[in-house]
Amino acid sequence: MSIAFTFPGQGSQAVGMGKDLAEAFPQARAVFEEVDEALGQKLSDIMWNGPEDQLTLTANAQPALMAVSMAVMRVLEAGGLKLADKVAYVAGHSLGEYSALCAAETFTIADTARLLRIRGDAMQSAVAVGEGAMAAIIGLEQVDVDAVCTEARDAGVCQIANDNGGGQLVISGSRAAVEKAAALATEKGAKRAIMLPVSAPFHSALMAPAGNAMQHALAQVAKRDPVVPVIANVRAAPVRDADEIAQLLVTQVTGQVRWRETVEWFAANDVTTLYEIGAGKVLTGLARRIDKTVTGIAVNTPADIDAALKTLLG
């Protein structure tokens, strides 16, 4: 039986996140200061005080969520945790893969913040506002969602962006095609097909310009092999070569986040506990729905950190 650390993606952000950590732990404060300095922006002020619409902007939400995850990691490390000694694998949902790699020492905190700012800006600018869309399809199997995406492609780009498990798949692409696919999914028996309030069609072929931007950025940044393997989003299998990881991060921009398969891989490989490191509890809830043999534990408050350290080091 082994343990993995998972790291949340966009949508887990909330005004006020990380403030209790900064007030309680100097190691957490140092992370937020390092991210602010790396970005040349008081991102921590937006995180703690809002406004919410500024925090939700992709270019802010991505480094902000990483900052909270790494604040938790630094406090755990100060409490005596050595990742390579206690944790078998790391994984993160979309931008959370960068947090996972930062935790596993592939990238520094400052470089991860800058990479995520580039990623957020590039994703936002890849498609004109209003031209792309995403929708959550609830209650259809992946093969059926693939079929409606294929059928809708006469109206534009349409593909599965996230397989989140528990009967929830997210599709992404051109607005007309996604709207058509959502309607087709309802006709095929989906419980719900919900257009999502997002600013761009993430993890679709329309993100190709952002993929190019990340290829350039990742080629310039210093990187090292992670101290524990990362389960890559687009492969749902472990990787530990830094150059291969960088290429998979480029693929991830336009590729599918295979989260259901990631959790299933954990379950099949004797990983029984997933600690969700950072804001919110989204991944903890998904783990429960995907495989009941896997326990999810959210770690984002001082009390959570104390409990985790007792369990992990006890």
List, by residue number, the catalytic residues: 94, 203
Which two structure tokens, joined as six digits, stand for 280?
């919110």
3-state secondary structure of 265: helix
Is residue 134 a contact partner of residue 202, using CB atoms and an 8 Å limit? yes
User: For residues 282 and 279, what is the distance between their CA atoms, to the nearest angstrom?
Assistant: 9
CB atoms within 10 A of CB 95: 29
Long-range contacts formed by 219-222: CB under 8 A, 24+ apart = 219/246, 221/107, 221/111, 221/114, 221/115, 222/107, 222/108, 222/111
Identify the H or E element spanning 6. Answer: strand 2-7
User: For residues 136 and 130, what is the distance between their CA atoms, to the nearest angstrom?
Assistant: 17
